[in-house]
Structure formats: C-alpha cells, structure tokens
Amino acid sequence: MENNFIINLQKSPKFIFKLMNLISLPFSINFYPLIIAILYYENIIDTNQLYLILIGNVICGLVKNIIKRNRPYVQSNEILNYEKRYLDSYSFPSMHTFNAFLLFYILRSNGVINNYYKIIPYSIAISRIFLGVHYPTDVIIGAILAKVVFSIFVNNNINIAV
C-alpha cells in the first residue's frame, strides 16, 4: 500500500522533485550540523538543547539500526531515488523528519518561532516521501519520535548540560 502511494506521488511533474530536494537540503547531513552550530553560536539554542539534539540523533540512529528497514527505492524497482545524495541504508524512522520536528519544537519553546512554522517540518516529511527515500510510516514515526524525545526532556526538566 505504501509502495503504491509513493509510485503515484512520483508521477508528479519533474520540477516537483527539484523543489522537494531543495526543501530537504537544510536537514541533510551536510547542512544540519552547520545550522545547529549557528543557532548555538547565536544563543538561539542553549547547551542543554544542543545535547538534546545530539542524544535525539543517537536514539533515532539506534532505532534505524535495530529496525533495519530498507528504503523504498531499494524495495521496489518502480520507486525512484530522486534525492541522489549519500544515504545510509535504512529508512525507518526518517532522520530528516525527526530533526526538522525536533528543531521546530525547540525553537517554538524558545519563543523564536510560532505554530505557523510547523509547515516546515511537514514539508520536509512530505519531501522525503516524494523523493522515494522514505515510506509514509517512516516520516510519521520520525515526527512522533521527535515529539516524544522533546517531551521527555522538557516535561522532566532534564538538564544534560554540565
């Protein structure tokens, strides 16, 4: 069912895939650390939130390596990989989606952005499906995992910074 959904999405006009690549780019392994470093340097996120991002990525990576779900384009010859960048082997959960939602929750809690900016992590999630690198369940769980990790740290007042 998820394969058919992606196959139908990929019948979209080709310019959509260039747009989806642009949307996804800031949350790639090449740019996301730079964005986080700038936010930290500019005191937009604090040390505890920086550690939260790092620990969250470890948790998300562990889940990926435990589940070991192949990416859609690996599972089906009908699904194309429109991202064309280096990807790790596994798709579940979506690390791009996890990072986009986690950063959204952090920035919203800091008063830097409001709920209207939620369009950004949702756009990231949708782009991952369009590009053929994630199933819908990958991005849904990535978003949920970000909310759970953020909520655990915030609701329990966990302070990791030394």
In a domain, 100, yes or no: yes
Question: Is pLDDT above 90 for 85?
Answer: no
Q: Round the average pLDDT of the chain to a whole number and report it.
A: 86
Residue 153 vs residue 150, higher pLDDT: 150
Q: Is the peptide bond before 26 cis (omega within 30 degrees of 0)?
A: no
Instruction: Please compute the mean of the pLDDT values over residues 74-92 and round it to a whole number.
Output: 79
In a domain, 34, yes or no: yes
In a domain, 162, yes or no: no
pLDDT band at 139 (very low <50, low <70, confident <90, very high): very high
**Rounded to whole angstroms, how far apart are CA atoms 18 and 43?**
33
Domain range for 75: 2-155
In a domain, 107, yes or no: yes
Instruction: Please compute the mean of the pLDDT values over residues 36-55 and round it to a whole number.
Output: 90
> Please, are residues 132 and 72 in contact by the beta-carbon 8 Å criterion?
yes
Domains: count for the chain? 1
> Please, are residues 81 and 126 in contact by the beta-carbon 8 Å criterion?
no
In a domain, 161, yes or no: no
In a domain, 10, yes or no: yes
How much is the pLDDT for 160? 65
pLDDT band at 137 (very low <50, low <70, confident <90, very high): very high
pTM assigned to the model: 0.86
